[in-house]
Amino acid sequence: MKWLLANGNLVLRDSILENTNLVINENKIEAIEKDSSMTDFNEIIDVKGCYVLPGFIDLHCHGGYGADVMDASLEAIGTISRFHAEGGTAYFLTTTASDSLENLQKVLQILRTNKNVIRGAKTLGAHLEGPYFAQKKHGCHLPQFVRTPSESETSLLLEYKDVIRSITIAPEIPGALSLIKRFSENGIVVSLGHTECSYDEALKAVEMGASHVTHLYCAMSGIIKNGVERKGGLIETALLEDRLSAEIIADGIHVPSELIRLAVKAKGMDKICVVTDAMRGAGMPEGIYTFGSMRGQEAVVKAKMAVVKEGTGLASSVFKMNEMFCHMYNNLGYSYTELASMFSYNPACVLSVQEKIGSIEQGKMASFTILNRDHEVEATIVEGKPVYLRKAAFNKSEK
Ligand SMILES: [Zn+2]
């Protein structure tokens, strides 16, 4: 099937092509052209000057519409996919919370056996957030599940290396360096986070293969003072070290604007990825929701914030990608091309899939986030198929 996505303002890597057409053949971009002969296509979707961005890629996403990945059901993952497709997410990493090995295996098994059945944002595999954290930096993860890695548990997890795409780990805990080496040798992205590590400890992890940093500034060490001595923590390592990319929760709540600007200034536009870190209360009425499984940490969702019950910290976000896009555009002033890097191309690079997805180029997957001028999502298209269309979004003409 060949169809035309007509009259888009296409956001490319370094420019915007106005009123341009995309020829889609099955799941790929066959051509980018100004004038198309309208008779050649099975279907034409006229997007009438909306912005067509490469489909957003969310490297850190736990839930939405009342569901969490740790519910460990296909239905829950489908609900999360549907919710985030409405926010322009084309791809996401199904992100687990710290839990028992058995419950993590349940999620991994579902991802393995149901790779292509979910309709909505497409999962690229799992991001294991934990359970190997510094005890004091567990954040909203239940402390009883936080532990140090063993060689045997690492081996059992590596049996799922076909579906695990990344893992967040604190590099200073016993056994961490061996896990980092084994996971990165198996092509899994090792991300540093939930940690009290020093600059030296973080650098050792980079030498072992760590390449990414989980929600920069949140649940991690900054300048460490010990007596008269000061050392850098993970924040300083992330800002300084070119071998590390970093993700940021750009909801305007977790991290103030000046810290986002500092990160972009220090690391450059090509090393920052925006993530939602969304939890099950995203897209739901205000109330109490658990982070992780139904037995997880309770959080109060109110005024677009999820706060742990004791009021001591945030428990993930309740945002969609397009809402973060809005924040980064309106309040921080980044351009569309810069945001396309931070929302699509950079996360594709983190996962080494930038040859297939992450930008609008001939031969790449036809995955797009289509935004109107108010940054509302008009459509999300994944590999040639619309997975979300706002009501009466566009005139479709079929033949
Ligand atoms: Zn998280």
Mean pLDDT over each residue of the chain, to the nearest integer: 95
| pLDDT tens digits, one per residue of 105-131 | 999 999 999 766 678 999 999 999 999
Cβ neighbours for 257, distance < 8 A, ≥ 6 positions apart: 331, 332
Residue 193 has pLDDT above 80, yes or no: yes
Residue 393 confidence (pLDDT): 66
Rg (CA), the chain: 21
pLDDT in tens, 248-264: 999 999 999 999 999 99
Number of Cβ atoms within 10 Å of the Cβ of 302 = 13
Residue 200, helix vs strand vs coil: helix
User: Ligand 1 mean position to 351 CA, how many Å?
Assistant: 17
Q: Which ranges of the chain would DSSP assign to H, the alpha helix?
A: 74-85, 101-113, 151-158, 176-185, 199-207, 234-240, 257-267, 321-330, 336-340, 346-350
pLDDT given for residue 119 in this prediction: 83
**Is the pLDDT reported for residue 21 higher than 80?**
yes
The 3-state DSSP class for residue 220 equals strand
Q: Is 152 exposed, middle or buried (0-12, 13-18, 19+ CB in 10 A)?
A: exposed
Reported as half-sphere exposure (CB side, CA atoms, 13 A), residue 195 has a value of: 35
- The predicted pLDDT at position 37 comes to 82
CA–centroid distance, 54 to ligand 1, in Å, is 24
Ligand 1 centroid distance, CA of 98 (Å): 10
The predicted-structure confidence for 320-375, as pLDDT tens digits, reads as follows 999 999 999 999 999 999 999 999 999 999 999 999 999 999 999 999 999 998 88
- Ordered structural domains, the chain, with CATH: 2-53+359-398 (2.30.40.10), 56-350 (3.20.20.140)
Mean pLDDT over 215-236 rounds to 97
Task: List, by residue number, the catalytic residues.
Answer: 277
pLDDT of residue 309: 86
pLDDT tens for each residue of 31-54: 999 988 878 898 999 999 999 999
If you measure from the C-alpha of residue 383 to the centroid of ligand 1, how many angstroms do you get, rounded to a whole number?
A: 27
Looking at residue 340, its pLDDT comes to 98
Q: Return residues with CB closer than 5 A to ligand 1 (ion).
A: 129, 277
Tokens representing residue 209 in the block: 């293969």
Q: Are 174 and 205 in contact (CB under 8 A)?
A: no
pLDDT recorded at residue 116: 65
Q: How far is the CA of 367 from the centre of ligand 1 (A)?
A: 25
pLDDT digits over 154-183, tens only? 999 999 999 999 999 999 999 999 999 999
The pTM of this model reads: 0.97
Q: Which of 207, 160, 216, 215 is nearest to 188 (CA)?
A: 160
Distance 391 CA to ligand 1 centre (A): 31
How far apart are the CA of 105 and the centre of ligand 1, in A? 18
The candidate with the shortest Cα–Cα distance to 377, out of 27, 143, 53, is 53
Would you call 167 helix, strand, or coil by DSSP?
Answer: strand
Instruction: Give yes or no for a cis peptide into 347 (omega within 30° of 0).
Output: no
The SS3 call for residue 59 is: strand
Q: How does pLDDT run across 273-327, given as a tens digit for each residue?
A: 999 999 999 999 999 999 999 999 999 999 999 999 888 899 999 999 999 999 9
Q: CA–CA distance from 158 to each of 178, 183, 197, 346 (Å)?
A: 13, 7, 25, 26
